[in-house]
Structure 1
């Protein structure tokens, strides 16, 4: 099969950095550095008319010197007035795709908009695909490709990102690096002159390395076309959308940022819901949701049990569940009896399950499995992971660690929280039910053995009960939409 334009962008045989620079503060230097440092397997070429050696790579005077057929993509880091000539030269060498990082096009006003239209017309006449302009680049971890003019290089993982804002791509990649739930593909669409966010999402939907997608948009152009494209993508995989420019001032900022035209937010919200995409209000909520989709099974129903080591977390979670589409299911009598055999009688005896600090060595893993395996439970929110390892951290940093020979108990505490993380993942895999764990230690102490074990197992640890419940709400909403939509199509 012939490669698609997106194959040329995300899985190129070779890449050219046009406008490579010796100055570490220039985009041309950073772009070449990122491509080389990322470990891209194919040939890398760089152009600079003075032909210096940059980062050990001998540069070429122009794109015309690239061997024919050796590269599929050119990353353009030169002034806007040079882009047309670079496209012509690239096409003559068999290069079929370009990512134009250069700014100064539609976002700069009427003259820039005309230049952008002319560039797209030229690309079409050459049979080339242009990403951007005015974008920061793309990431493709299966290809070990970091073709971008900024720093974040996330770990490999199941999340794909497409955004009209480069710095919001970076934000999502930073969350991925912090959480351990990594990125398959990520792209800054920039002005989206030729290919836009929905085009990328359409390709991600068929990408075997991607399980869920996140997108940021400021303007959508043809609303009907956008809705139809999102619906098709949502049939295949979950999509989480964040929209900027929802207020008059935000819309004005969007116009100056990417030249995007605002849409009525109420109309947009209804369109998104009908199309099956999840609407997130913030980037944090978007990452929570897409990480949940990428690492958790969809719930079969709304019946949720909250399992907590202590009471306050459970109360907060109960409030959050009550404000969502989920159901805080009454604790079944047989499940109550089973838990009663595990812990002292002071535990709550209702949902949320507050173990009241009465757990012993194996209580948490056993309780997680008991709850998840129950036929009247669709999903579990587990709170309190990391408490023991946090105690160990304090003991290790204190003045008595060596004199009191505390290493053994510290190691035990750390192993326990690692076991709890493993138990949650195993119970979810065995039952096919989502089990979302949450602790603030995922943010305040990410090296804690609980969150660390989850990250090592490519599971997402939520920073709070509220955020875990919100993500679970999104899972259940999408599960319902998908069931209704596929039934209607049958």
Structure 2
């Protein structure tokens, strides 16, 4: 049965314990983040001394908290205080508790005993307990940033759960950088009562979420995890990074969260059978998840590359040919004949479709349209956009601008780049096929009109053809697995 985590991510009100006027303390930081990021529910600041902190009256007794006004409590208090706080919170109608405090199983036997007592008590009180030793919970649809660190992230369709709070921050930082937002985010900490798999199950029924992204160091219940996750992936793609795959990493995991890292080969085989998408590192994990969140799933592996210059196409063709799932689609004769009418004779006459500088004002949108409609093309990778915008940038910043007709040509180049980007988005939406645009300008010139248009649409512009191919490869693999499993 799926655990009910609605009170964790959509609370009517929040209690923060351990609040003081010290801006470096967990209670202060958690309170600040909740109040600063747009949360509309009631907020109660609880501390040892009466004071006003961040324009909030600090209360010293739970008697001052009205019943059934807060669903969530953020524990930022020492181990010795937390069991009594759970009892008092339960009496006030709290349904979920996030424990940010450390000092539990990650420090040894005494901490483990305290953790077991906390878990037992939470179960007796029918409280959802998350943590301990966690960073916090973020829920942009609710305007909630109840965590003891930065950052907050824009609202989107990626749900994040991690045994490492630092990697939660990493994923949220990437969300801010790319504009590809987050639906939910939580640091599981020691996962004493609510495990990674519990979050993944809830994400699979969460209407705000399209893909789950998680970091795991170790599992105590590997078989249970496997049996449950293979049901989740039938509904929801999961992108996973596994820490502790080496002896050194396993030692670090044990000291970090107290996790016993799982055998990496067994874990790899288990997750592959379950349709989980494994990522080698945090950056690629976010990029893959962002692709799942913003592109439709392909119906097959046949990939067409459109490029304005040959070199980019060659590299993309190599990457596709070396991938595990993608096929460089043979160019169908009827599509080739259509392209002949749009391009001069020097075009490549093959896949990749190299325009060889033969494009006119309307060529790229027309090519994208006809290619996306062809039944023998499942996905498109578009390369070489942004060149005109890059030229416009150089001219605009040069000493002769805006004279000599330069303002007019700059405006034309920038309009065209925006139009090309809009065409790639439109054909993907109308055809239901992935169209991935790649250019190093995504990193080197993020204000290029093509890059900015892609980003403003809520999609990624990949920094290289190889990165786009890698992301698409994961989409194709998962799509094939899900079609066979359902």
Is residue 435 of structure 2 the alignment partner of residue 409 of structure 1? no
19-28 or 37-46, which deviates more: 19-28
114-123 or 443-452, which deviates more: 443-452
Gapped regions of structure 2 (runs ≥ 5):
none
- Number of the residue aligned with 2:287: 288
Q: Is the 8 A contact 1:164 1:190 kept in 2?
A: yes
What SS does the corresponding residue of 1:152 show, helix, strand or coil?
coil
Q: State how many pairs are aligned.
A: 484
* CA-to-aligned-CA distance 1:171-220 (integer Å, 9 cap, x gap): 11111111121111111111101001110110110011111111110112
- Number of the residue aligned with 1:254: 253
189-198 or 288-297, which deviates more: 288-297
What SS does the corresponding residue of 2:376 show, helix, strand or coil?
coil
Measure how far apart 1:366 and its partner are.
Answer: 0.9
Which runs of structure 2 are paired with 1:141-160 in the superposition (5 Å)? 141-160=140-159
- Number of the residue aligned with 2:166: 167
- Number of the residue aligned with 1:344: 344
Q: Is the 8 A contact 2:4 2:202 kept in 1?
A: no
79-88 or 431-440, which deviates more: 79-88
101-110 or 23-32, which deviates more: 23-32
Q: Sort the Cα spacing of 1:24 and 1:384 in 2 relative to 1 into closer, same or farther, 3 A.
A: farther
Which runs of structure 2 are paired with 1:242-391 in the superposition (5 Å)? 242-324=241-323, 325-391=325-391
Matches of 2:36 and 2:199 in 1, distance apart?
25
Q: State the 4+ residue runs in structure 1 displaced beyond 6 angstroms.
A: none
- Number of the residue aligned with 1:426: 426
Matches of 2:169 and 2:415 in 1, distance apart?
34
Q: Is the 8 A contact 1:288 1:468 kept in 2?
A: no
Measure how far apart 1:76 and its partner are.
Answer: 1.2
Q: Sort the Cα spacing of 1:479 and 1:5 in 2 relative to 1 into closer, same or farther, 3 A.
A: closer
Is residue 233 of structure 2 the alignment partner of residue 226 of structure 1? no
Gapped regions of structure 1 (runs ≥ 5):
none
- Number of the residue aligned with 1:85: 84
Matches of 1:444 and 1:103 in 2, distance apart?
41
Q: Sort the Cα spacing of 1:410 and 1:24 in 2 relative to 1 into closer, same or farther, 3 A.
A: farther
Matches of 1:420 and 1:414 in 2, distance apart?
10
146-155 or 80-89, which deviates more: 80-89
Measure how far apart 1:235 and its partner are.
Answer: 1.0
- In the superposition, the TM-score normalised over structure 2's length comes to 0.96
* CA-to-aligned-CA distance 1:8-66 (integer Å, 9 cap, x gap): 10000100111123222222222111101111111011112222211211121144422
Measure how far apart 1:397 and its partner are.
Answer: 2.3
* CA-to-aligned-CA distance 1:251-275 (integer Å, 9 cap, x gap): 1101111111011111101100111
Measure how far apart 1:404 and its partner are.
Answer: 4.3
331-340 or 205-214, which deviates more: 331-340
CA RMSD, aligned part only? Answer: 1.5
Matches of 1:8 and 1:422 in 2, distance apart?
39
Which runs of structure 2 are paired with 1:62-81 in the superposition (5 Å)? 62-81=61-80
* CA-to-aligned-CA distance 1:411-438 (integer Å, 9 cap, x gap): 2222222212211111111111111111
Q: Is the 8 A contact 2:3 2:198 kept in 1?
A: no
What SS does the corresponding residue of 2:189 show, helix, strand or coil?
coil
What SS does the corresponding residue of 1:103 show, helix, strand or coil?
coil
